[in-house]
Structure 1
Amino acid sequence: MKKPFKPSASAKLSKLSLVISAALFSSALALTSAPALANLPPQVDGHVMPSLAPMLEHATPAVVSISVVGTHEVSQQNVPEAFKFFFGNRGQNQAQQRPFRGLGSGVIIDSDEGYIVTNNHVIENADKIMITLKDGRQIEAKKLGSDAKSDIALLQIEAKNLHSIKLADSDNLRVGDFTVAIGSPFGLGQTVTSGIVSALGRSNLNIEQYEDFIQTDAAINSGNSGGALVNLRGELIGINTAILGPGGGNVGIGFAIPSNMMHNLVSQIIEFGEVHRGILGVSGHSVNSEIAKAMELETNQGGFIAQVMPDSAADEAGIKAGDVIVAMNGKPIKSFFELRAKIGSIGANKKVNLTVIRDGDTKTFTVKLKQDQSAEIAAASIHTMLKGAQLTNDSKKQAVVIENVAEGSPAHMAGFKAGDIIIGVNRSRIKDIAQLRDQLKDTSGVLAINIIRGNISQYIMIR
């Protein structure tokens, strides 16, 4: 088992130095529009010229370029036309297997272990992943795991003299904080752009299933996907993921996955090889003026709980329908979507403190999250012959259900079909995906997968 990833300690800067940095940054933005000043020396009349270069000298070596080759099924996506991902031909309208090549970016988060974080859509369906470091070295990477619902993936390379980036606490971000985006747009090579945090907690955009985006106006384009969004200390505050681009280009509205959310997900991938998503067991709505008026609430923000599932984590903790969740672990919750995204990035069996308004009173509940058994697992990470299959645990049948099989995929060619129930490998009983993974891990030769199809028990042989 790999050691859990721990972010490096943040650099300590005095309040005065932060104020000076912000002032210098503003001056730098103003000076960039004056070509006549472009070649001025570092000092003019004894005054140091403002520059982000010292910070970037430490941050940019941790950002890499990613190139991939593979095959994918090109089909209609449930993504609004205005939202353009930074990679591949994800929005095309056909349903067939096609070879592809693509470019993206990634961030080294642990130089000792060679861990690189990027977006799932950058390396999805890739057969070969090549990493290009800032110093020009090219190294093939292996995929350790990914989470399509939040669009995070973790890669690993073996190399010496790597540079990792420090993580910031993204919960401390404020609208107006300066940002710098680092990535490789259009395959041009490493590029740096600057801007500010335009908004926080962006959700309900139908880009991913779990959304709690940082919005920034730092220019990001095709190829920046998976790259770094950093603050003026050079600390990672987000992973650039998508843009709002009706014309396919940058219009100053980009979205990044917060570093805290990324860290929670990556830690699970390192420990388990997949995300063990926590689930609260509620449904609800974001509080607005209409709900606030109907329920006589004094707040227009938070997550209104419409239903609590029986025997769920929320039910066992004492949360009830009609409650309004306004904070988690002491940090404000602005909407139900934000609540869902934050809960969804925290691992199963973890405890969270939820601040709730009930009948005008404020209460705090400690909730132990349960595991989301309906989450689809990337079957390819279990065995290459299961690539193209979507697996879920069925707790009632104590088995693994194949929800879907992509036509033409290795799983389809092996003979698996949607609806098949996996109950065993060779002579061993299988009750869930974890046991299936354990049975198939590091095995060679022919394996007999025992399935139930309809009312018939049969075996499918894979190698």
Structure 2
Amino acid sequence: MKKLSLIISTALLSSSLALTTLPVNANLPFAVSGEALPSLSPMLEKVTPAVVLISVKGTHEVKNNVPEAFKFFFGKPGGRGAPQQEQEFRGLGSGVIIDASEGYIVTNNHVISEADEIIVTLKDGRQLEAKKIGSDEYSDIALLQIDHEDLTEIKLANSDNLRVGDFAIAIGSPFGLGQTVTSGIVSALGRTGLNSENYEDFIQTDAAINSGNSGGALVNLRGELIGINTAILGPSGGNVGIGFAIPSSMVNNLVSQIIEFGEVRRGMLGVQGRSVTSDIAKAMELETNQGGFVEQVTPGSAAEEAGIKAGDVITKVNGQMVKSFSELRGKIGSIGAGKKVKITVVRKDGKEKTYKVTLKKSETANVEAESIHRMLEGAELENSNNGKGVDIAEVEKNSPAAIAGLRSGDMIIGVNRMRITNIAELRAILKKQDSVFALNIIRGNSSLYLMIR
């Protein structure tokens, strides 16, 4: 081994000497020709100010492992000698500013979940407290907002145009070290299977991603956001060249819903099934070996109304290939209720057919009004079917909303003297209301104003 090292060292030395004795007019390599070396620095100098460090702290419940027979000796919960029921935690992650004018920051739900305080640190060191606008556990996306004028945003790319082999640059704050940039390529697309309950459609990359990178940016060579770094696959929790990011197109769909409704209002296709395998393809005499095999179509669903049938194999969503049922679930799960999608299927006879489907609303589509204003806590809101206001679907007894006078069945049509037609407009107006404001309510056949303090 020592002899080999010596040979390599000698070869390098000889090469160096040979290079220094070349004639002045020789065709020198690009690296020593006096020209600027290729670098990502110009692009990164523009986009890295849009990637932030997120620090959180809060409390979460800790399981009480004391056997029931011994609990008497610890006294009542919270008393002296009682086992702790809550434990303080602190955490670090990353985030991406996607709208500088509104101060919107995208991150992962698992970064800010259960946090009582969220502090955003910009690249220049400024620290700002962030407000949580909404989040979705099943897609692991959260939207925050900070109040500051001098911000930098990252433009979202269309991740549907990505190809395996495209260059990818990850930006985040691994291990709390501070902003770090790593590079690689898109290793795979449409990855699923990390959590069967979640909606997944990941970009896989070999750009180094570690703990603390969660919520950070994955960008292309133009500095456009192609994904939000989310997870890593490694036996020790460290980088082994397999990282995952939520595609920017999926992020855009989810964030748009959070801005409008305060949460993800997921659209429903109404099919059940499984991924096509070679065994299924052989048994069902299918012409394709990939896609989502439809085992059952829910009566009255969007799929049934469009004409999709059991036995169909869904191969494309809006023209994009679907390799598995999990990928189909992830793509549909990021598209909002009421949106139109093109679903391409292959029938048993091998014929391909494309359906235009309008996704239906999930049964859990209401918005908790606390995410819009603290004095509306206890009310559930939804956009009115006639597009003329915001319906109060339910009001919890003795809640701030109930005390303010809101009732189930009310429809909010204005704030002060400003008309509103949907939740997004209501949120935008109430964001600027710090003290007393009046809600214009339609109750039955009457119009009235409720003063909210």
Q: Normalising by structure 2, report the TM-score.
A: 0.72
5+ residue gaps, structure 2: 1-29, 65-82, 383-391, 412-421, 437-452
Residue in 2 that maps onto 1:61: 49
Residues 229-308 of structure 1 correspond to what in structure 2 (within 5 A)? 229-308=218-297
Correspondent of 1:47 among 35, 39, 45: 35
Secondary structure at the residue paired with 1:342? helix
For residue 339 of structure 1, what is the amino acid of its counterpart?
A: L
* Residue 120 to residue 193, structure 1, CA distance change in 2 (3 Å): same
* Residue 132 to residue 356, structure 1, CA distance change in 2 (3 Å): same
Over the aligned positions, Cα root-mean-square deviation in angstroms equals 3.6
Distance (Å, rounded) in 2 between the aligned partners of 1:356 and 1:254: 31
Correspondent of 1:368 among 358, 362, 370: 358
Residues 40-439 of structure 1 correspond to what in structure 2 (within 5 A)? 44-74=32-62, 96-206=85-195, 209-358=198-347, 359-374=349-364, 381=371, 428-429=407-408
Distance (Å, rounded) in 1 between the aligned partners of 2:406 and 2:331: 41
Q: Normalising by structure 1, report the TM-score.
A: 0.71
1:301 Cα shift? 1.1
For residue 429 of structure 1, what is the amino acid of its counterpart?
A: S
1:287 Cα shift? 0.9
Secondary structure at the residue paired with 1:428? coil
Distance (Å, rounded) in 1 between the aligned partners of 2:167 and 2:376: 45
1:160 Cα shift? 2.0
Residue in 2 that maps onto 1:36: none
* Residue 95 to residue 360, structure 1, CA distance change in 2 (3 Å): farther
Number of residue equivalences: 366
Distance (Å, rounded) in 1 between the aligned partners of 2:158 and 2:149: 28
Secondary structure at the residue paired with 1:116? strand
Residue in 2 that maps onto 1:31: none
Q: Is the 8 A contact 1:399 1:423 kept in 2?
A: no
Secondary structure at the residue paired with 2:238? coil
Distance (Å, rounded) in 2 between the aligned partners of 1:375 and 1:246: 38
For residue 204 of structure 1, what is the amino acid of its counterpart?
A: G
Distance (Å, rounded) in 2 between the aligned partners of 1:283 and 1:75: 36
For residue 363 of structure 2, what is the amino acid of its counterpart?
A: Q
1:175 Cα shift? 1.4
5+ residue gaps, structure 1: 1-41, 77-93, 403-410, 416-421, 446-462
For residue 119 of structure 1, what is the amino acid of its counterpart?
A: N
Q: Is the 8 A contact 2:118 2:131 kept in 1?
A: yes
Deviating above 4 A after TM superposition, structure 1's stretches of 4 or more consecutive aligned residues are 375-380, 382-387, 398-402, 422-427, 441-445
Deviations 1:344-363 (A, max 9, x none): 10110011111111132111
Q: Is the 8 A contact 2:368 2:381 kept in 1?
A: no
Q: Is the 8 A contact 2:301 2:360 kept in 1?
A: yes
The percentage of aligned residue pairs carrying the same residue is 69
Q: Is the 8 A contact 1:324 1:357 kept in 2?
A: yes
1:384 Cα shift? 6.4
For residue 47 of structure 1, what is the amino acid of its counterpart?
A: E
Distance (Å, rounded) in 1 between the aligned partners of 2:192 and 2:61: 27
Q: Is the 8 A contact 1:423 1:429 kept in 2?
A: no
Distance (Å, rounded) in 2 between the aligned partners of 1:341 and 1:146: 16
1:227 Cα shift? 0.2
1:71 Cα shift? 1.5
Secondary structure at the residue paired with 1:48? coil
* Residue 70 to residue 216, structure 1, CA distance change in 2 (3 Å): same
1:431 Cα shift? 9.6
Distance (Å, rounded) in 2 between the aligned partners of 1:401 and 1:202: 41
